[in-house]
Structure 1
Amino acid sequence: MMVFAALTAVALPARADAREGDIDGVPYRVEVPAHWNGTLLLWSHGAYSLESPAPSDIELTNHPATKQWLLDHGYALAASQFRVPRGWGVVESGLKDQMDLLDWFTANIGKPRRTISAGASAGGLTAVLLAERDPRRFAGVASLCGVLGGTTGHFNSALDANFAIKTLLAPGLDLVHVKDPQANTTNARRALGAALDSPQGRARIALAAALADIPGRYASRAPAPDTVAGQVEQQTYYAAYDRGAFWGLTRTDIEQRAGGNPSWNTGVDYRTLLARSSQKELVKRAYSEAGLSLRDDLARLDAAPRVKADPTAVRYLARYGTPTGRTPWPVVTLHTTGDGNVPPENQRRYAAQVRRAGDPANLKQLYVDRGYHCSFTASEEITTLRTLLTRIATDHWPTTRPTALNSAATGLGPDYQTVFDTDPEPGLHPTTPSFTHYHPGPYLRP
């Protein structure tokens, strides 16, 4: 049985005092229930796509049902839309705009008894950095699907995958200093689509994906396909679409903000990188099926011209940012095992940072056996938050055995058991809680 201290009272639907406005032109939304318990959850959203407008609604949680549960149980919610809501300017923007909102909340609503810094994806990174940079303002951190290996490694990893695609499949593509972002992205997608049609092309996609730890599991609810072709197809969805913006707008945007190219692969040994990759066995199978020499293709990567970074841009990404690992308060993380946008190896890198600079006893890392990025049920998010809140209230972590977590999540009822999935069509679909034991491999690139 999982025990959550002082968190089990039955709650009725809560009326919330909702306030919207702007702080120096930056929109925000705050919701405070009538019987506020004194705890504020400050939510940091992820990096919205540069290929479309930012949402008009300001999100307060990852899953919409999580928001209502928190309000019903007395928690106040606040979020800034950020001055820069799209692309990787969200981290720099969020670090200022969220603190401005916290100051506004304190002055206009009241000083929270405790504040939780929470967020998802790039917002999961922002949530950690906010608390690290102003630790006295926060009681704990909840980072969902966070880029906790750091922005530098995230962009270097994208460069590694794209470098292999350019070298082995499409030499005309731009890697950095992209001249025509839209055309470069379109050409990359076409090249990947064409490569899928042959065993040789699939083998080279598998190698490129492995260099960024991209798994062959794109659908949220279905397991990874059994076949090489099926898994490589799902890796391609990540490489062409979810991470496809690294061929164009995401790359040009960060270079403009950072004052140059922040990514490099000088000195990288791709044989070593592949040997450490979580996807190396899929690569071996793919090359065997294709009748290709993996050794020869790795030699081609080693011989190809490398990409140098601009020091000014490297310093920018170092600031916005890589977690130091300091943990004067408890941190809980939640990640899907099949995430190809922000692979779960990010969590291993963060745990290593905490061992160096913080207190490992203050870190609890949870995993869900599911594909895709940030694909959690509300029940899993709520159970994760309750784990953190219990740790804050009692100074002890409750049990986090997967069976106990799944039982607690199931007990929240059917309204909280949906997850976003692209199959059979994009939207929320029913599923069951899927907490699991998981040990991610090494993070490939600093």
Structure 2
Amino acid sequence: MRRLLIALTVALLTAAPATAASAAPADDGRRSYTGTIGGADYRVEMPERWNGTLLLYSHGYFPADFGLPLFVTNAAESEQWLLEHGFALAASQYQNDGIGYLIEPAMRDQLALLDWFEAEVGRPERTVVSGQSLGATIATLLAERHPRRFDGVLTLCGVYDPLNTFNSALDINFTVRTLLAPGEDIDLVHADDPVASREALIAAVNRARVTPEGRARLALAASFGNVTGWYRSLEPKPADLTGWIQQQTEWITWAKIWGNGPTAFADIERVAGGNPLGNTGIDYAKQLKRSSQREVVLQAYREAGLNLTSDLAALAAAPRIAPERDAVRYMYRYGVPTGRTPAPVLSLHTTGDGGAPPDQERWYAEQVDDPADLRQLWVERGGHCSFSAAEEVTALRALLTKLDTGRWPDLRPSRLNAAAGRFDPHYQQVLDLGGNGKAVMPPAFTRYRPPVTLRPSRTG
């Protein structure tokens, strides 16, 4: 299950030394480079015959006690296809082995890797910056702030507004503490022992999920982040209320408490120099009315025989958390894109994502200064970042067509599914980050309108 938290996924000095080791060419003529620049590991993969395009990949948020190998694409099979078709791939792991809220150093590390690539490998004809989960913020900010260095942006399961994301997680943790663990010593911010607070919240969730009353309150908590009940990417969307809430509970446990709860809040406080998160002035009754999950909550409370008004009153009466001004300013500097689009941006998102809810896409679309340079594609599937290589490469091809011709291709779902369906089954595999392995899944591009985000850091 903890593999889910990839998603919710960055001090390099210009003169910092770089070390590189070029592996002996493989039988197929490819080359691999690995090394360290200013304390950040990197990996570069070169095809036998380079087509001139470099894909610079930014990974997502790795919480404490969590780490992953250094990936250069979202779907593992994408790497194979891209190298076979002439693309160069590069990625930095960032400082601190990529663990924590590292947007500021991640941007420097990625630029340093691009500098190294241009000096040691060759200057790309074009560079596309891609990002997965919180890496979408990194990719978007890189393109906004260094427009001459990037020709296009591809985001996957993107978080665009991290301040929004973590404030929504705060709302969910706050609701769990208030309604499911009243009186317990649980600190959400400035915690003396954030791990103990995290474990106490998870224990409260586990107690609640086995009763109708507890599940109703978990549905209420999920509603404050537009968290869906489609956690399993290899299974159909749950059709019954209990199944829906049980999968919402998985999102709450693993994405919103274990990954983005007290330990993440403590990490952000360290980076930002204080607490940037808060819920002063938030009216949770109004938030519920605006939530995409409102009807689920109403039905769950009716079936449990609970008084929703009383629970909302308890939330209203609970002591609030105030953000600290300088820490908020830091988050705006390193976590909230402006919406400038100096390069075309194409995004790919699953409709059931509860780790980076689809409302992030709607928020970003409302910020962009040139809507003609943005296209957003949707895959009808649960899970976070649960795309096949066929879907990922199909999205990339659409972006490259825009770069080549100045026009977007036909992006109707039927055309996209037909294009992705032509790939071999090997490239149709989808990973279930919840722990159920991989399976071949048919392409699932669809039309979708995401809900409004409930805690925007900036309005369009």
**Given that residues 46 and 90 in structure 1 are in contact (C-alpha distance below 8 angstroms), is that contact kept between their aligned partners in structure 2?**
no
Give the AA of the match of 1:437: R
Pairing partner for 1:361 from 372, 384, 387: 372
| Aligned equivalent of 2:78 | 66
Distance in 2 between residues matched to 1:247 and 1:80, nearest whole Å: 26
Matched, 1:250 2:264: yes
Q: Is the 8 A contact 2:63 2:100 kept in 1?
A: no
C-alpha displacement of 1:87: 4.2
| Residues 132 and 84 of structure 1: CA distance in aligned 2, closer, same or farther (over 3 Å) | farther
After superposition, what is the alpha-carbon deviation per residue over 1:108-162, rounded to whole angstroms, capped at 9, x for unaligned? Answer: 11111100000101111111111111011010000101111x1110111011111
Q: Partner of 1:338 in structure 2?
A: 352
| One-letter amino acid of the structure 2 residue matched with residue 330 of structure 1 | P
Aligned match of 1:400: 411
Paired residue total: 427
Task: Provide the residue aligned with 2:300 in structure 1.
Answer: 286
Q: Pick from 410, 413, 435 the counterpart of residue 424 of structure 2.
A: 413
Structure 1 residue matching 2:74: 3-state secondary structure: coil
Unaligned runs of 5+ in 2: 1-26
Residue 105 of structure 2 is aligned to residue 123 of structure 1: no
Between 1:20-29 and 1:208-217, the stretch displaced more is 20-29
- 2:177 is aligned to 166
> Within 5 A, what are the aligned runs for 1:421-440?
421=432, 425-440=435-450
TM-score (norm 2): 0.90
Distance in 2, Cα, partners of 1:14 & 1:275: 58
Query: Which of 227, 231, 253 is residue 240 of structure 1 equivalent to?
Result: 253
Name the structure 2 match of 1:205: 218
* Correspondence 1:66-145 to 2 at 5 A: 66-145=78-157
CA deviation string 1:206-247 (max 9, x = no partner): 001000111111100222322222111111111112222333
Check whether the contact 2:133–2:159 (CA below 8 A) recurs between aligned residues.
yes
Worse overlay, 247-256 or 155-164: 247-256
SS in 2 for 1:21: strand
> What is the aligned-residue identity percentage?
50
Q: Which residue of 2 aligns with 1:385?
A: 396
Counterpart position of 2:10:
none
Per-residue CA shift, 1:248-288, capped at 9, x if unaligned?
Answer: 32111111111111101111111111111111110011011
1:35-65 superposed Cα distances (whole Å, 9 cap, x missing partner): 111110001111123123x23x321101111
Separation of aligned partners in 2, 1:274 and 1:221: 29
Quick one: distance in 1 between partners of 2:384 and 2:422?
24
Mapped to 2, the partners of 1:242 and 1:253 lie a distance apart of 15
> Post-superposition shift, 1:368?
0.5
Establish whether residue 370 from structure 1 lines up as the match of residue 381 from structure 2.
yes
Work out whether residues 172 and 256 of structure 2, in 8 Å CA contact, stay in contact via their aligned partners in 1. no
CA distance in 1, matches of 2:290, 2:219: 15
Partner of 2:95, secondary structure, is coil
Q: Which amino acid aligns with 2:399?
A: L
The amino acid across from 1:95 in the alignment is: M
Task: Pick closer, same or farther for the CA change 1:239–1:87 going to 2, 3 Å.
Answer: farther
Matching residue's letter, 1:237: E
Displacement of 1:195: 0.7
Q: Is the contact between residue 42 and residue 79 of structure 1 (CA under 8 Å) also seen in structure 2?
A: yes
Q: Tell me the SS of whatever aligns to 1:399.
A: coil
How far apart are residue 14 of structure 1 and its match? 5.4
| Alpha-carbon distance in 1 for matches of 2:219, 2:289 | 14
Which of 410, 429, 452 does residue 442 from structure 1 map onto?
Answer: 452
Aligned twin of 1:183: 196
Distance in 1, Cα, partners of 2:80 & 2:316: 52
2:273 is the alignment partner of 1:259: yes
Deviation of 1:178 after TM superposition, in Å, equals 1.7
C-alpha separation in 1, matches of 2:169 and 2:262: 12
Aligned to 1:227: 240
4+ aligned runs moved over 4 Å, structure 1: none
Which stretch shifts more, 242-251 or 376-385? 242-251
Maintained 8 Å contact 2:170/2:261: no
Distance 2:96 2:82 in 1: 27
CA distance in 2, matches of 1:135, 1:112: 15
Contact 1:152 1:322 in 2 (8 A): yes
1:335 maps to a residue whose letter is: H
Does the 8 Å contact 1:259/1:312 carry over to 2? yes
Is the CA contact 1:151–1:318 (under 8 Å) kept in the aligned structure 2? Answer: no
Equivalent in the alignment of 2:362: 348
Query: How far apart, CA to CA, are the structure 2 residues paired with 1:64 and 1:14?
Result: 19
- 1:25 deviation in Å? 2.6
Structure 2 distance, partners of 1:125, 1:442, is 19
Give the AA of the match of 2:404.
A
CA contact (8 A) 1:47 1:85 kept: no
- Deviations along 1:282-311, one digit per CA (max 9) or x if unpaired, are 001101101112122112211211110011
Aligned to 1:45: 59
1:143 maps to a residue whose letter is T
In structure 2, what is the Cα distance between the partners aligned to 1:34 and 1:86?
A: 29
Q: Which amino acid aligns with 2:154?
A: A
- List runs of 5+ in structure 1 lacking aligned partners: 1-12
TM-score (norm 1): 0.93
